[in-house]
């Protein structure tokens, strides 16, 4: 809402296409709208300016033609610019490719759009970006260990690199930004990490609205991500009145901690065997959800009609082969928000340098996607 107020003028006035272009251009050129900032959606701008969406589309296209914004299909419109960073800044970007032997089509789709968005934002600013990826983090093949890093001013790396290249990151003379974690880890680096709680609370409030007071939690108890998400879920359950005591998180007899789809199948079997239709299912990751869905569909049960199923991530909704089957409500932290936070962090570091101060930005998972209101608890 703050952004909208910056780019709107007189309340009640009806604008023309050129008025919208001038107003937005003035705020972009005047740096009231920072590089990488996402503009409000077309419908919201149309409502504020009291024009048709078609007029807003024309105005945004004018700005795109003049290289003031970038329009990304399916993502939105984003301000171009140099973020206050010197154009010669050199950035090394290190990430892990998704390696899922159970769902091969899931590989590389996980972060594809958001990484493309980050690349576009940085390259729009005239910054040199060098991308490095590997499938599994280990000491033997970690590229950070054998690479000459002095050519970079910034290293942006997934948090997992801290486990195999911590000393290299500590000794790097430039700025290090870690992302993709869900907890703050003290060290000589800046961080962007997730807060699961807002989305968890919205999901639980939805369950309560539908009459549910019990839920089976599906997760991999030995994995830190499942542990942290479960902790956030319990905290929000106690806060909103659902009650953490009403969250069942058992370990199935057959437990495949390294194969989440098979693990999800075991939870699906457990649900059919020991739980009733007054219990919802809360899966802590899409991978697990695939296994749960397999079992439900095999027994003629459909989420939204027979079972109340919530999944964390919402990544599978972008995988063609799962789009029709993935008909469940979802909690998500859009990864594009994480990458825009990285860009914001880089700008803050450059504009207010302090070698003794390390910054962090928390990205809240506050989006809860409702695909179906059914079924109610019986």
Question: Mean pLDDT per 10-residue run, the chain (378 residues)?
Answer: 45 76 80 72 86 91 84 78 69 78 63 69 73 70 82 91 88 93 91 95 96 96 91 98 97 77 93 92 94 95 94 84 84 81 84 86 91 85
Domain spans of the chain?
2-79, 90-195+334-365, 197-332
Rounded to the nearest 10 degrees, the angle between the axes of helix 197-209 and helix 224-240 is: 50
Q: With CA atoms as reference, report the closest residue to 268 among 279, 207, 335.
A: 279
Question: Considering the entire predicted model, what is its pTM?
Answer: 0.77
Tokens representing 139 are 């000491």
CATH number of 197-332: 3.40.50.2300
Rounded to the nearest 10 degrees, the angle between the axes of helix 53-65 and helix 42-49 is: 110
Q: Do domains 90-195+334-365 and 197-332 have the same CATH topology?
A: yes
The per-residue pLDDT for 122 is 74
Check: CATH 1.10.490.10 for 90-195+334-365? no
> Does residue 177 sit in helix, strand or coil?
strand
**Architecture of the domain delimited by 2-79:** Orthogonal Bundle (1.10)
What does residue 79 show for φ and ψ, rounded to 5 degrees?
A: -70, 130
The per-residue pLDDT for 6 is 44
């Amino acid at each position: 809402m703050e952004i909208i107020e910056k780019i709107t003028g007189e309340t009640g006035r009806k604008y023309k296409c050129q008025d919208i272009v001038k107003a937005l251009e003035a705020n972009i050129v005047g740096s009231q709208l920072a590089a990488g900032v996402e503009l409000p959606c077309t419908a919201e701008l149309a409502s504020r300016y009291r024009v048709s969406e078609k007029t807003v589309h024309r105005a945004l296209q004018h700005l795109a033609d003049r290289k003031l914004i970038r329009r990304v299909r399916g993502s939105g419109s984003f301000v171009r610019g140099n973020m206050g960073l010197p154009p010669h800044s050199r950035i090394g970007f290190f990430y892990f490719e998704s390696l899922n032997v159970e769902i091969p089509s899931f590989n590389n789709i996980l972060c594809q759009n958001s990484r493309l968005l980050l690349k576009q934002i940085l390259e729009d600013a005239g910054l040199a970006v060098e991308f490095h990826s590997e499938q599994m983090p280990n000491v033997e093949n970690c590229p950070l260990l054998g690479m000459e890093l002095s050519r970079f001013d910034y290293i942006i790396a997934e948090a997992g690199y801290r486990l195999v290249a911590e000393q290299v990151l500590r000794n790097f003379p430039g700025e290090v930004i870690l992302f993709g974690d869900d907890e703050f880890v003290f060290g000589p680096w800046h961080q962007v990490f997730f807060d699961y709680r807002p989305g968890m609370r919205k999901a639980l409030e939805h369950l309560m609205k539908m009459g549910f007071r019990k839920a089976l939690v599906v997760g991999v108890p030995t994995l830190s991500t499942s542990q942290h998400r479960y902790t956030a879920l319990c905290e929000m359950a106690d806060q909103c009145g659902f009650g953490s005591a009403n969250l069942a998180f058992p370990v199935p007899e057959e437990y495949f901690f390294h194969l989440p789809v098979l693990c999800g199948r075991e939870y699906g079997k457990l649900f059919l065997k020991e739980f009733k239709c007054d219990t919802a299912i809360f899966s802590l990751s899409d991978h697990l959800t695939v296994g749960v869905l397999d079992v439900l569909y095999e027994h003629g049960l459909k989420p939204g009609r027979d079972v109340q199923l919530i999944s964390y991530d919402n990544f599978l909704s972008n995988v063609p082969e799962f789009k029709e089957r993935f008909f469940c409500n979802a909690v998500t932290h859009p990864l594009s928000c994480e990458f825009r936070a990285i860009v914001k962090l880089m700008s803050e570091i450059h504009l207010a340098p302090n070698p003794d101060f390390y910054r962090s930005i928390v990205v809240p998972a506050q989006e809860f996607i409702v695909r179906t209101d059914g079924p109610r608890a019986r």
